[in-house]
A and B are shown apart, each in its own frame.
Chain A
Amino acid sequence: MGDLRERSERVWGWLADVPDPEIPAVSIVDLGIVREVNWHDEPAGAVCEVVITPTYSGCPATEVIGRSIEEALRERGVERVRLQSRIAPAWTTDWMTSEGRRKLSEYGIAPPARRADGRQVIDITRLRRRTVDDAPVACPRCGSAHTAPVSRHGSTPCKALHRCLDCLEPFDYFKCH
């Protein structure tokens, strides 16, 4: 079945085809949800261990993602799959690949406007800031930075609703986390 590294790389390739259930334009690899792929040669047979991390604590897609991974691997002949969920280090949008960001934009969702780089600190003097993430968000349709938030919450925990003040279209914004 090839050496361990080859096997792992192959699995990574398969997982890159597993779409996020809520935003099918991007894969779970693009979103930085898959953290590790390890093969263990055990007496009963080889086991493929996939380590994933949940995004938002209550994200309902997490369980679906787990099942999709198992299905994807079983379909390709991997009989023994072990899923491991790891909460630390905490998932951050900084783990989103540039490919993922590009795909989001193409799909019509503005990607995170800045890096998270550690925890968010509440600074009360910034209460009245008009942007959701304290950074200008570019419209995924016309590219204008002249946009405004409509709501800090959107269709899923990870998104906020914005609108473009130039082309006037509304769009989802993937929040920096």
Chain B
Amino acid sequence: MLLDDKSIYLMRLGDNALVLAQRLSEWCGKGPAFEEDMALTNTALDLIGQARMWLSYAGEVEGRGRDEDALAFRRDSHEFTNLLLVEQPNGDYANTVVRQFFFDVWHQLVLDALTRSADDRIADIASKAIKEVAYHLRRSIDLFVRLGDGSAESRRRMQAAVDELWMYTGEMFKADETEELLGAQGLACDPSTLKDAWLAMVHEVFAEATLELPAGEWMQKGGKQGRHGEHLGLLLAEMQFLQRAYPGATW
């Protein structure tokens, strides 16, 4: 049913931003340098703002009386529809940088396509978000290259992170029925159409970063359909604790 698919699609966009923002926030006060601490938390703040816009809209379309807070703090992990990529643990800083880079390239491409959505509100949210994401991507590319084409230690860690996270990148381009339906209606974009552009940019940046693109073709999937690993449960336990323990609490 179109309305359900639309709310699911909006939730996916919101969940990606929300879960990634939560991950980045875990670095708060623990960044490898003060500058990095500020950069990650600023990025997280942008993503939280975007998550609010997407989830508010998702709740309205869903029509079950759930607002942004209900969706963020009172859903269980099997109801979350984020990509598996964004729930992966921070690991070392190389892992965080690689995860962010893979996501930012995709995020910018998706938002660009959504600025042309037949749904005005989707186009409006995307037009606002893309300005911030362009900044995130710029930073990601810069850091990816600096650490990749850095010291022997940084390059080793970057390559290890790339090899580890590569299998989570495929999910970004695997269209399911929801995306096909919405794509046909001009409301969303078929993510498989973004793959070539993503690969082209990734290739360029990898070359400059002197890192090797993995050859593996097998990809993890299921995040968009609510099938997550154990990481998400732990992340939500921390993120949702306050609202679960004191339902309806406000500042």
Chain A residues within 8 Å of B, Cβ to Cβ: 54, 56-60, 87-92, 116, 119-122, 124, 127, 150-154, 157, 175, 177
Please report the C-alpha to C-alpha distance between residue A84 and residue B38 in the assembled complex, in whole angstroms.
31
Cβ-neighbour of A122 out of B39, B52, B137 (below 8 A): B137
- B231: chain A residues at CB < 8 Å are none
Once the chains bind, are A127 and B49 in contact (CB under 8 Å)? no
- B138: chain A residues at CB < 8 Å are 120, 122
Once the chains bind, are A122 and B108 in contact (CB under 8 Å)? yes
Once the chains bind, are A57 and B132 in contact (CB under 8 Å)? yes
Chain B min CB distance to A57 (Å): 3
Q: Of all chain B residues, which has the CB nearest A58? A: B49
Chain B residues within 8 Å of A, Cβ to Cβ: 35, 38-39, 42, 44-50, 52-53, 108, 120, 123-125, 127-132, 134-135, 137-139, 141-142, 145, 201, 204-205, 208
Once the chains bind, are A124 and B47 in contact (CB under 8 Å)? no
Please report the C-alpha to C-alpha distance between residue A88 and residue B132 in the assembled complex, in whole angstroms.
15
**Contacts A57-B52, A57-B129, A59-B45 known; 11 new A-B pairs at CB < 8 A:** A56-B132, A57-B132, A87-B125, A90-B131, A91-B128, A92-B131, A120-B134, A122-B134, A122-B137, A153-B35, A153-B39
14 contacts between A and B (CB under 8 A): A56-B45, A57-B47, A57-B48, A58-B44, A87-B53, A87-B124, A88-B127, A89-B127, A90-B128, A119-B130, A120-B138, A122-B141, A127-B142, A152-B135
- B125: chain A residues at CB < 8 Å are 87
Q: Of all chain B residues, which has the CB nearest A88? A: B124
Please report the C-alpha to C-alpha distance between residue A168 and residue B178 in the assembled complex, in whole angstroms.
56
Please report the C-alpha to C-alpha distance between residue A88 and residue B114 in the assembled complex, in whole angstroms.
14
Nearest 8 Cβ contacts at the A-B interface: A57-B49, A58-B49, A88-B124, A58-B45, A90-B128, A120-B134, A151-B35, A153-B42
